[in-house]
């Protein structure tokens, strides 16, 4: 199953949507996840332009004002939804792969910048992880680095890193090496760089 995760940051420029659709098509993506849609009405969003003409299902979490917003889209001939769990900062779609019947829980995440919110959210994600059977994949913007070299000219807080790594260990997750660019977030006109976006998966998913 091929998964694509994109942080839109509210930019719904037609060329960017076409770019997303191009990646989705060329890579044979079955499950597309977007963070920071910054919309409160999913009907007004051009999902068709991102996905293309083929059939899809979707679940979404509205933004709060101009902040946040999540959407997950998938190919219904590859993945069948059983349950959707919505939270301001995550969107979990539970279902199974067709035709193997493997149970799969897919979590689209956008973690807030506030440290206390991040701590509370990690606790909720851990409870979610332990509440259901099946394979687990978490991806999106976790707003935390895992080691000093994942920040350049950007604040590195050792306690935050330790808490994030403890969450990954407690949830029995492993980070998938995405390759490509070293950093996933750029601010201050390129002066500050960080790796904040990642895929975290259970070992059984990596083995399939």
| Rounded (5°) CA angle 206-138-173 | 55
pLDDT at site 113: 84
Q: What pLDDT shows up at residue 123?
A: 95
Q: How far is CA 21 from the centre of its chain?
A: 17
Give residue 154's pLDDT: 85
Show the domains of the chain with their CATH numbers.
3-207 (3.60.10.10)
pLDDT in the model for residue 44? 53
Predicted local confidence at residue 43, as pLDDT: 53
List helix spans (H) across 130-182.
158-170
pLDDT at 138: 97
Q: What is the pTM of this model?
A: 0.92
Q: Is the distance from CB of 108 to CB of 139 less than 8 angstroms?
A: yes
Cα angle: 63, vertex 36, 163; to 5 degrees = 100
Cα distance between residue 1 and residue 208, in whole Å: 9
Which residues of the chain are modeled with pLDDT < 50?
none
């Amino acid at each position: 199953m091929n998964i694509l995760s994109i942080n839109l940051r509210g930019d719904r420029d037609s060329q960017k949507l076409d770019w997303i659709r191009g990646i989705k098509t060329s890579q044979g993506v079955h499950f597309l996840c977007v963070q920071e849609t910054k919309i409160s009405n999913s009907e007004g969003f051009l999902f068709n332009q991102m996905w293309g003409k083929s059939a899809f299902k979707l679940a979404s979490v509205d933004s709060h004002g101009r902040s946040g917003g999540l959407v997950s889209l998938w190919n219904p001939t590859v993945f069948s939804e059983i349950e959707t769990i919505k939270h301001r900062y995550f969107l979990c779609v539970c279902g199974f792969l067709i035709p193997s019947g493997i149970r799969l829980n897919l979590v689209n995440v956008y973690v807030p910048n506030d440290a206390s919110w991040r701590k509370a959210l990690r606790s909720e994600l851990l409870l979610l992880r332990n509440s259901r059977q099946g394979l687990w994949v978490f991806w999106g913007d976790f707003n935390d680095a895992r080691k000093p070299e994942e920040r350049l000219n950007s604040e590195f807080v050792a306690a935050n890193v330790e808490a994030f790594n403890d969450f990954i260990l407690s949830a029995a997750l492993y980070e998938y090496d995405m390759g490509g660019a070293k950093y996933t977030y750029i601010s201050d006109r390129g002066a500050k760089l960080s790796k904040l976006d990642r895929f975290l998966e259970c070992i059984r998913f990596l083995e399939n």
